Amino acid sequence: MNSPILVTGGSQRVGLALATKLAQAGHTVVSASRSKITTPAHPNIIPFQADLCRVDDREALIEHLRGYDGLRAIVHNASLWLDDDLDNLNTMFKLHVEAPYHLNLALGEQLLKLDKADIIHICDETSSRGSKSHIGYAATKAALQNMVLSFAEKYAPSVRVNGILPGLLILKEDGDEQYRQQTLKKALLEFEPGAQPLIDAVLFLLESQYSTGSHVVINGGRHLKNRIA
């Protein structure tokens, strides 16, 4: 059996686009999602239904992945953007921190079977600057960003561990024109880029031979907009 790429949260939006692109490039992709996928977007996509907030679901996914010859990469894309309260903080912690921590540790042997493997954490631009309106989201993504450093050191040199910090790539489907214009103006590049910038960053990291413990920012210059000179 070959060595697949695990993409979490691969059933919709950016995750689905990424899983499809990787499958089209010839990779076997295990797409883990809470949603049940009956018809994959590509024959190379193997859907696996799992709520990554649940330990038993993660254990089942780990057992499935141990059935392969190795593991080419893990892309931790699954994410929830929830309002601030304690229950939501606990949910986001389980998904953004506990699940990647668990999977990275449990699947280390599978990754190390290959001469070169990758772990990619999809963080967020707010993970390095905070967010007064989504404190819990930014904080849990910051923990995910920090784990890049620790796992990069733990698994070097065979496994490269890097992070991607995207800004808003795809606008909310139910947003009105005012929302659209206000959101786009938060970046220097005032357009909706879609999933392609993240796909490009993932492909770059998968091919890179000399990057680990690093972060790729794809936010259209949002961190520079309206800054105090």
- CA angle at 85 for the pair 96 and 138, rounded to the nearest 5°: 40
Which residue stretches of 67-220 are H helix?
86-93, 99-106, 108-112, 135-155, 177-184, 196-207
- Rounded CA Rg of the chain: 17
Q: Is 179 a catalytic residue?
A: no
Tokens of 13: 């939006």
Residue 162 — φ and ψ, nearest 5°? Answer: -140, 165
Q: Which of 137, 155, 179, 210 is catalytic?
A: 137
Distance, C-alpha 210 to centroid of its chain? 20
Closest CA to 218 of 170, 167, 145: 167
User: Smallest Cα–Cα separation from 123: which of 89, 100, 152?
Assistant: 100
- Positions annotated as catalytic residues are 137
